Amino acid sequence: MRIEGKEYRTIWFENSIVKIIDQTKLPHQFIIKDLKTVKDAINAIKVMEVRGAPLIGATASYGLVLAILENNDQSFLNKSAEDLINSRPTAINLKWAVDRMMNKLSGVNSDKILEIALNEAKEICEEDIKFCENIGLHGLKIIEQIFNKKKDTVNILTHCNAGWLATINWGTATSPIYYAHKKGIPVHVWVDETRPRNQGANLTSYELNEEEIKNTIIADNTGGILMQRGEVDMCIVGTDRTLANGDVCNKVGTYLKALAAYDNNIPFYVALPSSTIDWNIKDHKDIPIEKRNSEELSHIEGLDENRNLKKIQLYPQKSKAMNLAFDVTPAKYVTALITEKGVCEASSSGLKKLFNK
Ligand code: MRU
């Protein structure tokens, strides 16, 4: 997608270096950062220079390429794989990508391993782009149906950033929106700010602006009244881990939005590639929910009056803050899942049918 008119992907490999867009600096600074070692890749995932379930998976796969470049030794590779998986706990794409790479590399001779690892990491990225395009085409049909009935701008609410910045290109939740816009369907996006890290305000609004899609940032608590007043036609969000029974784990606050949508009879869609499906965990209480530093709540970074980046403290110094990063929306509140293979019910039978499991 575009930034200042130029096409980018979120991650690429050039001259033995992995290049990323540093998302901790957006929207105020656009900085391309070099990852030269597996430690750099692990750190980029931990501090969220890269974030979003598919993108952290892709970064982990390139992290293993960097590990091989540094030290072509099996025990170093095994330790790197373990450290990458542990760098963020909730999004299943991370483990999915590392397992896929390690399976591909198992038993491969050391003189061939780099080439095979690099090809597989590239393949993970190309596949994600294709899957996101397909999600866009399937989701487009839903937006088209609403437009054909309403004959006016389709208002879509989204939470966090499940845009192209969270994937390699296109995004999951945003892909149907980009396709609708390209087709000339008038769309407007209500962008949840998404406290505490403000991925909605800082990233989703930024990328929609760059693609000239109308959007308005709202505080996380505003969606309910907009729904009551008929100003939301549909919700589309992404996910970090969707269970085989259709329960959806996503950025904290998603659940409350789904409840409000349910109460107001507004369709609530979740867009995901199959790399985000956890076929093993049965009970959502077993999903490891990331607890992040409370400083993400108590402090905020933005531009000061001289347009310099500045971090300030918001709360009383003595106050405690707690920062759970994800929540779970039970399948019964999800209208449907939009996947690369098509749209299905958020249920075991819906997913099983689509993925022949
Ligand atoms: O903590 P983040 O910014 O990595 O969380 C991202 C989300 O919750 C996204 O909605 C999810 O990863 C889907 S990305 C296509």
- Domain containing residue 43: CATH number: 1.20.120.420
Domain count, the chain: 2
- From 23, 55, 96, 160, give the residue whose CB has the most ligand 1 atoms within 8 Å, as the site to mutate: 160
What parts of the chain have a pLDDT lower than 50? none
- Tell me: do 262 and 314 sit in the same domain: yes
Domain final residue pick, 127, 155, 181: 127
Of 109, 100, 121, the C-alpha closest to 38 is 121
174 and 79 in a single domain? The answer is: no
Tell me: do 202 and 322 sit in the same domain: yes
pTM for the model stands at 0.97
Give me the domain span that covers residue 81.
2-127
Length of the chain: 357
Identity of residue 8: Y
Q: How far is CA 263 from the centre of its chain?
A: 26
Does 143 lie in the same domain as 119? no
Residue 357 is predicted with a pLDDT of: 83
Query: Is cis: bond before 27, omega within 30 of 0?
Result: yes
| Residue 51 Cα: closest atom of ligand 1 | 4
The residue out of 127, 147, 170 marking a domain boundary is 127
The verdict on residue 65 lying in a domain is yes
312 and 285 within one domain = yes
Rounded Cα distance, 184 and 144, in Å: 10
pLDDT of residue 106: 97
Residue located via tokens 């501090």: 47
C-alpha 167 to ligand 1 mean position (Å): 9
pLDDT on residue 96: 98
Dist CA 228 CA 184 (whole Å): 27
| Domain co-membership, 150 together with 228 | yes
Q: Which residues are catalytic?
A: 240
Give yes or no: residues 258 and 348 share one domain: yes
Domain assignment present for 133: no
Does one domain contain both 99 and 219? no
Domain assignment present for 60: yes
Is there an atom of ligand 1 within 6 Å of 104 CB? no
Q: How far apart are CA 12 and CA 55, in angstroms?
A: 11
Q: Are residues 169 and 111 in the same domain?
A: no
Residue 280 maps to a domain:
yes
237 and 351 inside one domain: yes
Final residue in a domain of this structure, among 127, 151, 166: 127
Residue 132: inside a domain:
no
Which pLDDT does position 300 carry in this prediction? 96
Task: Give the contacts of 288 (CB within 8 A, at least 6 positions apart).
Answer: 89, 90
Query: How do residues 101-117 score in pLDDT, each as one tens digit?
Result: 999 999 999 999 999 99
Which regions of the chain does DSSP assign to beta strands (E)? 2-3, 6-7, 11-14, 17-21, 32-35, 154-158, 187-192, 214-218, 234-237, 241-243, 248-251, 268-271, 277-278, 299-303, 309-313, 326-329, 336-339, 342-344
Q: What is the spatial distance between Cα 66 and Cα 77, in angstroms, rounded to a whole number?
A: 10
Regarding whether 338 and 226 lie in a shared domain, the answer is yes
CATH no. for residue 331?
3.40.50.10470
- Helices 175-182 & 113-150, crossing angle to 10 degrees? 60
Predicted local confidence at residue 33, as pLDDT? 98
Q: Is residue 15 a part of any domain in this protein?
A: yes
Confidence (pLDDT) at 210: 97
End-to-end CA distance of the chain: 33
Model pLDDT, residue 1:
86
Give nearest CA residue, ligand 1 atom 5: 52
User: Rounded mean pLDDT of the chain?
Assistant: 98
Is 122 in the same domain as 163? no
In a domain, 13, yes or no: yes
